[in-house]
Amino acid sequence: MDNKTHFTIYTLMEPRGSKSYRHIYFTCFLLLYALILVINIWLSVVIALERALHKPMYIFLCNLCINYLYGATGFYPKFLHDLILDLYVIPSFMCSLQAFVIYSSAMCECTTLTVMAFDRHVAICQPLDYHSKLTKNKCGILLVFCWTVPFISMFIGVVLSNRLAVCKYHIDKLYCDNWSIVKLSCESVVINNLMALIVSLFYICLTVLIIVSYIKLVVACKASLENRRKFWQTCGPHLFSLINCGFTIFFDAMCNRYGSSDVPQNVYVAFALLMLILPPLFNPLVYVLKLKEVRKKGLKSCVNIIQ
């Protein structure tokens, strides 16, 4: 007799001390979600409405903000709902959807940052060719690339995980991710591992491209004071975003794949949440503070709203 069971409901990790502190948790995460919504919506609207910001660099920044809104919506509403009800369960189809949204957003962040690195490379190293290489049509193609690769990758990953029969139903995390769903299975996961390896290699290649482009940028900036000024003004926020993104995704992946029971659970929870807090909250803020044109147009829009 086959003892494998297809569970329709999964249980999620219950935050430590949730019985006593869930209202405090709820207030803190609601505030975080509100800040992420306000900052990213405000920056997206400013870029969309100001014709002076209708340039490739700002269009890609707007895409990054929209992606942060998309990814945050995959986690915060569900988690806030769980805190209010003190009930940490999720239907299997919703679990797959949450994993798809959160991790396709993380992948989209990587592809968007790669495209932004290409934009800065052309702007500084090949300024005379900038407008011919980054036309409206080519920007549109790059935006499609930013979303299509993550969506296809995660769709295949979710389909492959859903074909598995499961024999466990608890996900030891505050939210669903594809690898946690795979670990519930009683079957061979060789195909899932192969797919994860292919996707990882692709994004490692993107990382190498970013590193190479920045090496060329640094070499080009040595020859010109103007290039050095442009580098620190426009590439500084991008470097911060790259480090922020790389740090949070790397530790999330390491915790998922190679987590040890010897490490306190709170450490894993913290690293899992970093990916959902740091990039969508701080990356847009850094762009606003560092990019003079965005800051100026943003302040102007705030003054207009107040008046």
Residue 287 lies in a domain: yes
Q: Say which DSSP state 53 is in.
A: G
The domain that holds 88 is classified in CATH as 1.20.1070.10
Amino acid 2: pLDDT: 46
Amino acid 17: pLDDT: 78
Residue 2 lies in a domain: no
- Residue the block writes with tokens 């061979």: 188
Q: How far is CA 152 from the centre of its chain?
A: 16
Residue 3 lies in a domain: no
25-70: pLDDT as tens digits: 999 999 999 999 999 999 999 898 888 888 898 999 999 999 999 9
Angle at 257 between CA 189 and CA 197, to 5 degrees: 60
Residue 197 lies in a domain: yes
Amino acid 3: pLDDT: 47
Amino acid 16: pLDDT: 81
Q: Say which DSSP state 263 is in.
A: S
Residue 1 lies in a domain: no
106-163: pLDDT as tens digits: 999 999 999 999 998 888 888 888 888 899 999 999 999 999 999 999 999 999 998 8
H-helix segments, 86-189: 92-125, 130-133, 136-162, 178-182
Average pLDDT of 92-98?
93
Residue 201 lies in a domain: yes
| Overall domain count for the chain | 1
For residue 60, the enclosing domain spans: 9-306
pLDDT higher than 90, residue 258: no
With cut-offs at 50, 70 and 90, classify the pLDDT of residue 302: low
Residue 84 lies in a domain: yes
Residue 19 lies in a domain: yes
